[in-house]
Amino acid sequence: MPKPKTPSLGAALPSIIAILKHFWPYLRSQQRLLWTAFLALLAETAMRLLEPWPLKLMFDRVILPGFQVESSGIQDLGGLSPLVALTVLSVALVAAATLRGMFAYVSAVNMAVAATHVMTDIRSTLYSHIQRLSLSFHNQAKSGDLITRVTYDIERLREVTVVAALPLLTNVLTLLGMVGVMFWLNWELAVIAIAVLPLFLITTRHMSNKIQTVARRQRKREGAMAASAAEAIGAMQVVQALSLESMLEKSFAKQNQKSLKESAEAQRLRAGQERLVEVLVAIATALVLWRGVQLTLQGTVTPGDLLVFITYLKVAFKPMRQLAKYTGQIAKATASGERIIHLMQIEPDVQDLRGAIAAPAFRGEVRCEGVTFAYRPEQGILRNLSFTVAAGQQVAIVGPSGSGKSTLVSLLLRLYDPIEGRVLIDGHDLREYTLASLRPQISIVLQDSVLFAASVRDNIAYGNPHATDTDIIAAAQLANAHEFIEALPDGYDTQLGERGATLSGGQRQRLAIARAAIRDAAIVILDEPTSGLDNASEQVVTEALHRLTDNRTTFWISHDLCATQSADQILYIEQGQLWESGTHTDLMQLEGRYAHLYRLQNQPSSGWAIASNS
């Protein structure tokens, strides 16, 4: 397998610029913090450059005041006595270090706070953007990938700004400053000091690449380990039932061992790199001293100047070692930035059209005119469907599994738009209305209703954010749910487990019915709401459903043709086509597909299985 190369900062530069441009409005809102951070950073750099100067002056003006030099440097201490000068310089030494620390603190804190603000804003925007993206997008996107972008990618960008970009900037500025000062003091020594740089850059870069390759492999392995552990722990029942424990343990232990080896390898490489840097610093120091002492003896530079050189070398090499690491981190984090931007640039397929208006309160007449739909171009899920449903009618949608029944009702909610034809409510195309005014006017109960990890009260109120407590209780009563809710430990305030895991199937459905009822919508969609319930629960739920749908236009998808006999209109759909429509009596007289299916279901030996598999 080819080794992935660490992206270089140069190659990532266009992406970095694109990211900065895209996030500019967010950055601008934090201007004050960012400017403060930058100014503090400049001050910190200045202090770093100044740090060896008291020492230099002590040498040149206090210890060796008679030393004759031609070169630059501060020559005059303003006539202070040696002791006073020494004291002043000692204080200056402490002051420079303290100020440097303070400025570093101010810049780090401001930068961190700004980055956190920016990323929090971006995260909120991204989250609401994802929620607005169409189902056609979500059907294809991997939810894990989206979650990664909202959490990990954003966190990585934030972290890299603080732990890599800021130090990188500080180091680069410090290096430039030091090189400038060195040239100012003595160009020849400066050239010698800088001569080691290329060697240094090449070796550290090479080693950093190696370290990163190992580290990346290790991270990948850890990710795989976490995934397989999560999979096994999430399916413990199956694991134990199939006695897979020892097999899974073995494969986990193997991965774990490999991770250990890689971790040790990375540590070894890091330690090696540190030692190499020390040798390089020694070489540079030796070269500078070799020539520097000669120049000092010739009187071209002062001993203090030499001290400044040596100190700069020591100080400069340390952060340089991290340059490769920082640039690598930044370059890699640009991938995170790109992923976020890419997601943000996806436009929802289904969105308010220009000129969309708020829908008036619906009466509930629904008409489909030549509706054709497919999830993907090559498919044909619904073909040229046309029918009219009068306001308040009870409509049963029946037909074999996979024939397009759920797809049809999702078009009513405008979760998708038809490819051809149109869906009209009260004579108006759905697309004339805003989504925010359309969807709240339609209630829905699905086969497996999703409840959220919130209180029972909130779960019902999700149906209508303006609902009062009285509305919530009335809805629960309508849904045959009030009594069991009262019997829960905290009544309406009982917190539900994830996906309502703490309730029985029938109870969950009744909460879903309450949630649908509280909308008081003109149109109700029921997608096999009683499937999978035992007889007793089904009876209670069906009773609640009848109350919910009373006097409302209702689309009831069901496999149970007995339950739907009494519908005002039955739509028989197969392979995306509307084959027959009419009342039960009409369709039985027609002796077509519906009548055939009905007879199959009502033979003594038949039942659900035939209906759902036919």
Applying CB under 6 A, the residues found at the interface with ligand ADP are: 139, 375, 381, 401-407
Which uninterrupted H or E stretch holds 568?
none
CB of 382 to ligand ADP, least distance (A): 8
| Min separation Cβ 415 and ligand ADP, Å | 10
Q: Which is nearer to ligand ADP, 275 or 376 (CB)?
A: 376
Closest to ligand ADP by CB, 90 vs 401, is: 401
* Residue 312 or 572 having the CB closest to ligand ADP: 572
Task: Map 349-402 to HEC letters.
Answer: CCCCCCCCECCCCCCCCEEEEEEEECCCCCCCCEEEEEEEECCCCEEEEECCCC
Cβ nearer to ligand ADP, comparing 310 with 561 = 561
Q: How far is the CB of 136 from ligand ADP (least distance, A)?
A: 8
Q: Which is nearer to ligand ADP, 157 or 557 (CB)?
A: 557
Comparison of 328 and 529: residue with beta carbon closer to ligand ADP: 529
- DSSP per-residue codes, 28-46: HTTHHHHHHHHHHHHHHHH
Q: How far is CA 560 from CA 396, 398, 401, 403, 601, in A?
A: 10, 8, 12, 15, 8
What are 415's two structure tokens? 């979760």
Sequence-ordered list of residues with C-beta below 8 angstroms from that of 375, at least 6 positions apart, any chain: 136, 139, 381, 407, 416
In whole angstroms, the minimum distance from the beta carbon of 130 to ligand ADP comes to 17
Residue among 26, 61, 7 nearest 341 (CA): 26
Question: How far apart (Å, rounded) are the C-alpha atoms in residues 136 and 251?
Answer: 37
* Min CB(169)–ligand ADP separation in Å: 47
Of 105 and 375, the one with the shorter C-beta distance to ligand ADP is: 375
How far is residue 283's CA from residue 303's CA, in Å, rounded to a whole number? 19
CB of 401 to ligand ADP, least distance (A): 4
Smallest separation (angstroms) from ligand ADP to the CB of 2: 35
Query: Residue 434, exposed/middle/buried by CB under 10 A (0-12, 13-18, 19+)?
Result: middle
Written as one letter, the residue type at 252 is F
Between 44 and 528, whose beta carbon lies closer to ligand ADP?
528
d(C-alpha 6, C-alpha 74), whole Å: 46
- Of 572, 602, 601, 600, which Cα lies nearest the Cα of 584? 572
- To ligand ADP, the closest distance from the beta carbon of 439 in angstroms equals 18
Interatomic CA distance for residues 522 and 546, integer angstroms: 14
- The first and second tokens of residue 452, run together, are 């959220």
